[in-house]
Amino acid sequence: MIEIFSPGRVNIIGEHTDHQGGLVLPGCIQYGIRFQGNQTDNGLIKVISHDMADEFTFDPQNMKKQNNWVDYIQGAVFYFTKETGIVPSFKISLKSNLQIASGLSSSAALEVGIIKFLDILYRTKLAAKKIASLARLAENNYVGVKCGIMDQSIIARSLNDTAYLLDCTTLEMEEVRLPSDLVFLLVDTKIRRSLTSSKFNERLEELDLIKQELEKLNLTLQGLQMLPPEDREPIFTQLKEFYPIETKRLIHVITENDRVDQYKQLIAESNYKAAGKQLIASHRSLQHQFDASWSRADEIIQWVEGHINIVHGGRMVGAGWGGNVLVQTLKSDEQKVINELKEIDWIEQDMITVLSIRKGVELLE
């Protein structure tokens, strides 16, 4: 019997930059999916989900999309087979304490976990980078969500209990040690979303269009990023005249990359309040430039801005349109912040979690 734990992740800052080759600052969290399984010899794959009280059996050589959670597993199996030439046969059970469709990357945890399980089961010794790449292909091409590489990379490649600065173009990862007196709270707004039915792919289409217009100006997104802000403004003004919505999306991506850099530097300087302001700026950009927020998330950030004496900042996490909100504070103020957050009439104790940062997917002994 092989047992795997594949965690979810929280992205501290850097939202909707990963699919554009930008910068992100994620870390794996204590919640995730536990896989238990073994090889079988009947040529079939049987998956049992304890949380959904559901099970499904399929032929890996004759898969059909189910338009539900099974597609993530089938996609992972498909790309593992395409990479290795191995047609797997196994039985596996899943047990999760990770919220679904909440901005904590349950889909990547599922995909990475299955591929890691198969890698160990068949001793294929796939590199962590390859596991991340195959998991992303499963989500992009089989499930149909055109996500970036962030979620899969951090879950497959995180080796230590730390956050990582990930460059989604080069895939270089740099450890970013978070101070021990810093605390991140996660507030579940209880609003769920599905990326395949949300505006996620629509945003990518808008960004593709505006990047084509940039090319007509002999500029790439990365080239624009390198310009100082004062040199970007005339370009934004020119683009806005004909593409106002698409330019808003572009402005978010460019300025969000700036915020990741600034946040990392401010944390290193122990300037937590200034770092927290970068989180708020990230949320406001996601709200107004990327149109990815939702009313409960905005309400929490408004509360954060009114309690800046005990909280540094906060923002929505995940792709948007539902899920969780991240709040940054000091360990010494943790309980006070939790108590005062509950003053918002719809927030209850079980909706607030103190996050722990941990390493990525692993074999359990």
66 and 125 inside one domain: yes
194 and 318 inside one domain: yes
Alpha-carbon torsion (303, 306, 312, 318), positive or negative: positive
**357 pairs with which residues across the strands?**
29
Q: Which member of 151, 181, 208, 261 is catalytic?
A: 151
9 and 38 inside one domain: yes
115 and 236 inside one domain: no
Ramachandran angles phi, psi of 39, nearest 5°: -75, 145
115 and 224 inside one domain: no
62 and 199 inside one domain: no
172 and 258 inside one domain: no
Predicted local distance difference test score (pLDDT) of residue 30: 96
160 and 190 inside one domain: no
168 and 307 inside one domain: no
151 catalytically annotated: yes
- For the domain that residue 215 is a member of, what is the CATH number? 3.30.70.890
Whether 32 contacts 355, CB under 8 Å: no
Task: Using alpha carbons, list the distances in angstroms from residue 174 to 107, 171, 213, 244, 262.
Answer: 24, 10, 33, 35, 15
- For the domain that residue 54 is a member of, what is the CATH number? 3.30.230.10
Name the nearest CA neighbour of 98 among 51, 136, 56, 151: 51
Q: Which amino acid is at 271?
A: N
CA gap 221, 210 in Å, rounded: 9
Predicted local distance difference test score (pLDDT) of residue 365: 76
The number of domains in the chain is 2
Domain range for residue 320? 182-355
**Dmax of the chain from CA atoms?**
64
* pLDDT tens for each residue of 51-75: 877 899 999 999 999 988 899 999 9
- pLDDT < 50 positions in the chain: none
Helix (H) or strand (E) holding 165: strand 163-167
142 and 7 inside one domain: yes
204 and 282 inside one domain: yes
For 40-89, strand residue ranges (E) read 45-49, 54-58
**57 pairs with which residues across the strands?**
46
151 and 217 inside one domain: no
Supply the pTM of this predicted model. 0.94
